[in-house]
Amino acid sequence: MLNSYLTQIRMNLLLTLRNRMALFFSFIFPLIFFFAFSQGSGGGNGQQIVNLVLGLGVLGSGLFGVGMRAVQDREQNILRRFKVAPIGPGEILVSGLVTVMALQLPNMAFIVFLAHRMFGAPWPPQPISLLIFVSLGLFAFASIGGIIAALVNSMQEGVLITQLFYFPMLFLSGVTIPIAIMPAWLQTVAQFIPMTYFTTGLQPILRGTESLLDNATAASALALTAVLGTFLAAKLFRWEKEEKLRPAAKFWLLAVLGPFFVLGSWQMHAKTNIAKAKVLGREAQRSRTALIRDARLFLGDGTVIDQGSVLIKDGKIAEIYTGPAPDAKSLRADAIEAAGKTLLPGLIDVRVHLSLPGFPINDPQFYQNPDQSFDRELAAYLFSGVTAVKSAGDQPDMVGRHQAAIASGERLGSELFPDVKATDEAYQPALAALEARRAFQAGRTDLLERSLVQQVIPRQWFAQLKDAMKESARPEIIMNPLAPDLARKNLAEAYAAGRLLVVGTESGYPMVVHGPSAHRELQLWAEAGIPPAVALQAATYNAAKLLRADQRIGLIRKGYDASLLLVDGNPLQDISATERISTVFFKGERVDRSGLFEQK
Amino acid sequence: MAPVIEVSGLHKAYGDFEAVRGIDFDVSEGEIFGLLGPNGAGKTTTVEILEGLRSRSKGRVKVLGFDPEVSKRSLKDRIGVCLQATNLPDKLRVHEALEWFSAFYSRKADCNKLLQRLQLWGKRNDFYSKLSGGQKQRVALALALVNEPNLVFLDEPTTGLDPQVRLEIHSLIEELKANKRTILLTTHYIEEAERLCDRVAIIDEGKIVALGSPRELQERVFGQSRIEVVTAHPMPVEVPVFEAVAKYSLSDDCKTMVVDSTRPARTLPDLIKWIDQKGLELEDIHLKRPTLEDVFIELTGKKLRD
């Protein structure tokens, strides 16, 4: 019995190694993929490439390996010969499967090795979990391929139907196209696809952040599909092409996908796997290695480096180079050319009111879904290069929820700090809020003409905003007694007295727009005679100190979060340069600013 | 000793269509038993039921003491089967094919001896795809023998092969018979059945229409032989009435005469004597028995092949 299995596997291996096409698809193809992707991505992300190549390998060799071989052998009357020997379909299918594993697993280990040698990708920290999970995936996809093979009548039909499974799994599972950028309905559809669960399991296991046990649901679903599929494929096995199958037998295919139908239906409500897929997509972005080259560096504590480069790796600042930039390729990093630009720590706004819109608006829809407003506002901060904010007076449970969604990476937005009493005495003049209040009372609309403001206010509301401003103008009421001159003078005195200055904008009040107001605040400080470097420090290092997060943010320093703002020009000479945003980095991710407001 | 194969009252229906409608026969040890019939007569169905590949609808079947429907594996382990139109992977070497298949069986033949016996020794390292049709068929025969089976099923072993190769396969089968193996042979080549089989069952439309040794069958159907006489000079049209002669006919040039006789041993000397008397100078005389083909046509009204 064992001997017949072993001989079967040995011969399968022998025949595969003699088959040029099979060799190409099993060995050369993944390598081509590997090198093509690593060239395309500039080598900044070895682990991501491994993830992709392994995913494609498991899916492709699983689906096509065992099943198509059986169809071909049946079509060429080879299986007929086995039919009269004392060997059953189970033995043929299982040894086919073991053959695929024996071919693919060493191949995959080689890819991991290559990525380690060439791109410095770390060794998988959980090799046993990885081995088991990859084997389960191969087993499951092979059994789906096996059941397709059992149901089709010809090679042509087999290839067609297998491709019908292959392509959706390839494109909708998140292995090639991130789930986060799909429309919500497609994200739900993706939860019915087995490959999705393989992808959301493989990535964290490869990285070592999760083990097999953390992915027990996905692993069991794969295992169940594998066992069910192999069992049914053996039951429906046909030795000869002349044998016909009852048409109703085709429904067995659905039974094999049953576990994923159950998972998908559950996910329609729970959505946990969609969230996980988004987090994984985020982590993949954050784990990229990039070198920002030849920028002017404002380190946050007032220090300026005229020509310097910053290496970002795994979400942190890995190295700071002074003078001419090193070669990005030798550091296995994506190069970001920043000559003529200034790199600052991401700005921090220590006083914002997320429950308030920041502009007068009569649209009841806006107030119906405060969660949506929070999302949009936190996106507006990140869009404006403000990478951390502290909430003031918002509902704690909502703040906690959004803080968690951003911290996990499920959503992309500015890092949110809850409203806890600051112990340090710090001076927050909030000049922008004063200016806005006066403008609002007077019905003045000039603040809406600023470019950054126009970029963050949703189009559908912008048109009506000026009218709303005029309607709600109350020139007769003096709401704030503090005159601008006095406020500027107070700030200058506080500076002179050496008090800790921080930027807190009170954003959310009418015309104190979430995001751009931090920049306006800096400009008003400069007008009050505060040196740009001092103002910038108040919006970075000092603010981080107030948030008690200065061991992690607020500085460009090795080991700190890579939450950075790259702007055109030199804000140390002209503070308004902070608004001319070139790139925002958040925890190592190069933020796709235009996509921030379109997150699903 | 119990027969190797016992079949009684065998029926097989596919839905409304009855492929086999009550077949009975036994095959004893060391016998070559032939199933002869046109395509669609029920030969293959019958054989596949015996091999354990198909279930039956009704009847009793015992092969090597096993019920093929119940003890499929044990039966398959003990028999050798050579199916028509089977293939092996192109890139498989001949000796690997034998090793591969012998791994499935509990009893194993010496593969090297088998290769030599089937004249495949020189081809043992060749890929299957490089073999000629006859060589492929010899590999198929070899695979049917890897488990030293006592009972071998040969399903149309020479179909599609050229006459030379067919003769080679025939002598191999005769060699198997000499080794005391029982063989069940299906064929639609009359000569093959005549030459190889100890007994033949003629199947038509799911039933056995005749069963016996090829000789018995011929005699049972016709009970007479045919004598052909060729002379140098034309024979006279008036032929005397010989004893036991049913029918005679003369060719157009009157030099060839065909005589059907129920007692050829008596008729032959009568004929020679008559030709001598007439001084016709005998050129050729021979005795022909009716072929199985004639028997088949007589019994079924059909030709075996179109």
SS3 string, A85-102, reads: CCCCHHHHHHHHHHHHHH
Q: What is the pLDDT of residues A72-110, one digit of tens each?
A: 889 888 998 998 899 888 888 888 889 989 988 998 899
> What's the confidence (pLDDT) of residue A41?
58
The pair of three-digit structure tokens given for residue A493, joined into one six-digit string: 């005195």
B86 touches chain A (CB under 8 A): yes
Cα A331 vs. chain centroid, distance in angstroms? 23
- Per mean pLDDT, which of B10-14, B189-193, B245-249, B286-290 is the most reliable? B10-14
- Do B5-219 and B223-289 share a fold? no
**Is A175 in a helix, a strand, or coil?**
coil
Is the sign of the CA dihedral A80, A85, A90, A93 positive or negative? negative
Span B280-302, average pLDDT: 77
CB A354 within 8 A of CB A418: no
Q: What percent of chain A has pLDDT over 90?
A: 37
CB A290 within 8 A of CB A312: yes
The answer on pLDDT for A293 being more than 70 is yes
Instruction: Tell me the C-alpha distance between B291 and B293, whole Å.
Output: 5
List, as own/partner pairs, every contact residues B292-297 make where C-beta atoms lie below 8 angstroms and the sequence separation is at least 24, other chains included: B292/B36, B292/B190, B292/B193, B292/B194, B292/B200, B292/B214, B292/B217, B292/B218, B293/B190, B294/B218, B294/B221, B294/B222, B295/B202, B295/B210, B295/B217, B295/B218, B295/B221, B295/B222, B296/B36, B296/B190, B296/B202
Residues 111-150 of B with CB under 8 A from A: 140, 143
Q: What is the pLDDT of residues A370-379, one digit of tens each?
A: 888 899 999 9
Pick from A7, A73, A76: CB nearest B100:
A7
B76 vs chain A: nearest CA distance in angstroms?
5
B229 touches chain A (CB under 8 A): no
**Is A63 in a helix, a strand, or coil?**
helix
What percent of chain A is helix, strand and coil (3-state, nearest 5)?
Answer: 60, 10, 30
Q: Exposed (0-12), middle (13-18) or buried (19+): which is A177, by Cβ within 10 Å? A: middle
B268 residue type, one letter: L
Of the CA atoms within 13 Å of residue A117, those in its CB half-sphere come to 6
The answer on pLDDT for B305 being more than 60 is no
- Chain A and chain B share a number of CB contacts under 8 A equal to 56
> What's the confidence (pLDDT) of residue B221?
65
Q: What is the pLDDT of residues A141-188, one digit of tens each?
A: 998 888 888 888 888 888 898 999 899 888 888 888 888 778 888 888
> What's the confidence (pLDDT) of residue A273?
84
Cα A145 vs. chain centroid, distance in angstroms? 31
CB B118 within 8 A of CB B82: no
Distances (CA, A) of A148 to A186, A221, A253, A256: 25, 19, 7, 10
How many Cβ atoms are within 10 Å of B282's Cβ, its own excluded? 13
CB B107 within 8 A of CB B158: no
A81 vs chain B: nearest CA distance in angstroms?
6
Q: What is the pLDDT of residues A231-257, one digit of tens each?
A: 888 888 888 887 777 777 778 777 778
ipTM of this complex > 0.90?
A: no
Instruction: Report CB contact under 8 Å: B87, A78.
Output: yes
Q: What top-level class would CATH report for the domain B223-289?
A: alpha beta
Instruction: Tell me the C-alpha distance between A542 and A420, whole Å.
Output: 17
Instruction: Report CB contact under 8 Å: A84, B53.
Output: yes
**Is A210 in a helix, a strand, or coil?**
coil
Distances (CA, A) of A227 to A98, A144, A202, A257: 14, 10, 20, 11
Q: What is the pTM of this model?
A: 0.76
CB A285 within 8 A of CB A585: no
CB B124 within 8 A of CB B162: no
DSSP state, residue A173: S
Q: Vertex A115, ends A113 and A117: CA angle to 5°?
A: 70
DSSP state, residue B233: S
Residues of chain B neighbouring A86 (CB-CB closer than 8 A): 73, 76-77, 104-105
Residues of chain A neighbouring B140 (CB-CB closer than 8 A): 81
Instruction: Report CB contact under 8 Å: A3, B103.
Output: yes
The answer on pLDDT for A594 being more than 90 is no
Instruction: Tell me the C-alpha distance between A568 and B2, whole Å.
Output: 101
What percent of chain B is helix, strand and coil (3-state, nearest 5)?
Answer: 35, 30, 35
The answer on pLDDT for A380 being more than 70 is yes
CB B62 within 8 A of CB B6: yes
Residues of chain B neighbouring A8 (CB-CB closer than 8 A): 100, 103
> What's the confidence (pLDDT) of residue B101?
93
> What's the confidence (pLDDT) of residue A384?
96
DSSP state, residue B66: B
> What's the confidence (pLDDT) of residue B303?
65
Using 50, 70 and 90 to split pLDDT, how confident is the model at A133?
A: very high
Distances (CA, A) of B96 to A102, A210, A315, B116, B147: 20, 45, 56, 15, 15
Nearest CA in chain A to B51: A84
Span A354-377, average pLDDT: 83
**Is A53 in a helix, a strand, or coil?**
helix
The answer on pLDDT for A591 being more than 90 is yes
Distances (CA, A) of A302 to A255, A537, A538: 65, 6, 10
B285 residue type, one letter: I
Span A215-226, average pLDDT: 89
Instruction: Tell me the C-alpha distance between A156 and A142, whole Å.
Output: 18
> What's the confidence (pLDDT) of residue A559?
94
Q: H helices of A294-408, where?
A: 364-368, 370-383, 396-408
Using 50, 70 and 90 to split pLDDT, how confident is the model at A475?
A: low
Cα B172 vs. chain centroid, distance in angstroms? 14
B131's enclosing H/E stretch is none
Q: What is the pLDDT of residues B239-273, one digit of tens each?
A: 777 777 777 778 888 888 888 777 878 888 888 88
Asked if the A291-345+556-590 domain carries CATH number 1.20.1430.10, the reply is no
**Is A266 in a helix, a strand, or coil?**
helix
Q: For tokens 């982590």, what's the residue?
A: A283
Q: For tokens 């909430």, what's the residue?
A: A391
CB A380 within 8 A of CB A515: yes
The answer on pLDDT for A292 being more than 90 is yes
Which residue, B213, B219, B167, B160, is CA-closest to B192? B167
> What's the confidence (pLDDT) of residue A43?
52
> What's the confidence (pLDDT) of residue B306?
47
> What's the confidence (pLDDT) of residue A1?
66
Distances (CA, A) of A180 to A184, A192, B287: 9, 16, 93
Q: Vertex B63, ends B57 and B68: CA angle to 5°?
A: 45
Instruction: Tell me the C-alpha distance between A13 and A495, whole Å.
Output: 78
Per the prediction, chain A carries an average pLDDT of: 87
> What's the confidence (pLDDT) of residue A423?
59
- A347-553, CATH topology level: TIM Barrel (3.20.20)
Nearest CA in chain A to B139: A81
> What's the confidence (pLDDT) of residue B43?
87
Distances (CA, A) of B11 to B25, B43, B49, B55, B203: 13, 12, 10, 10, 13
Using 50, 70 and 90 to split pLDDT, how confident is the model at A44?
A: low
The answer on pLDDT for A513 being more than 50 is yes
Instruction: Report CB contact under 8 Å: A83, B53.
Output: yes
Q: What is the pLDDT of residues A59-72, one digit of tens each?
A: 888 888 888 888 88
Of the CA atoms within 13 Å of residue B86, those in its CB half-sphere come to 26
The pair of three-digit structure tokens given for residue A388, joined into one six-digit string: 């951390």
Which residue, A187, A231, A32, A172, is CA-closest to A114? A32
Paired with B199 in beta bridges are B33
List, as own/partner pairs, every contact residues A120-125 make where C-beta atoms lie below 8 angstroms and the sequence separation is at least 24, other chains included: A120/A46, A120/A332, A121/A46, A121/A47, A121/A49, A121/A50, A122/A47, A122/A208, A124/A205, A124/A206, A124/A207, A124/A208, A125/A207, A125/A208
Span B206-212, average pLDDT: 89
Least confident stretch, A46-55, A318-327, A499-508, A521-530: A46-55
> What's the confidence (pLDDT) of residue A422?
63
User: What are the structural domain ranges in chain B?
Assistant: 5-219, 223-289
CB A358 within 8 A of CB A514: yes
> What's the confidence (pLDDT) of residue A135?
93
Q: Exposed (0-12), middle (13-18) or buried (19+): which is B16, by Cβ within 10 Å? A: exposed
Instruction: Tell me the C-alpha distance between A355 and B225, whole Å.
Output: 115
The pair of three-digit structure tokens given for residue A365, joined into one six-digit string: 């829809």
Instruction: Tell me the C-alpha distance between A404 and A89, whole Å.
Output: 51
- How would you classify residue A587: left for phi > 0, otherwise alpha for psi between -120 and 50, otherwise beta? left
The answer on pLDDT for B222 being more than 70 is no
Residues of chain A neighbouring B184 (CB-CB closer than 8 A): none
Cβ neighbours of residue A500 closer than 8 Å, sequence gap 6 or more: A424, A425, A426, A427, A542, A545, A546
Span B168-197, average pLDDT: 87
Q: What's the CATH superfamily of B5-219? A: P-loop containing nucleotide triphosphate hydrolases (3.40.50.300)
B76 touches chain A (CB under 8 A): yes
Cβ neighbours of residue A531 closer than 8 Å, sequence gap 6 or more: none
How many Cβ atoms are within 10 Å of B122's Cβ, its own excluded? 11
Q: What is the pLDDT of residues B113-128, one digit of tens each?
A: 999 988 899 999 999 9
Instruction: Tell me the C-alpha distance between B168 and B182, whole Å.
Output: 19
Pick from A19, A81, A83: CB nearest B88:
A81
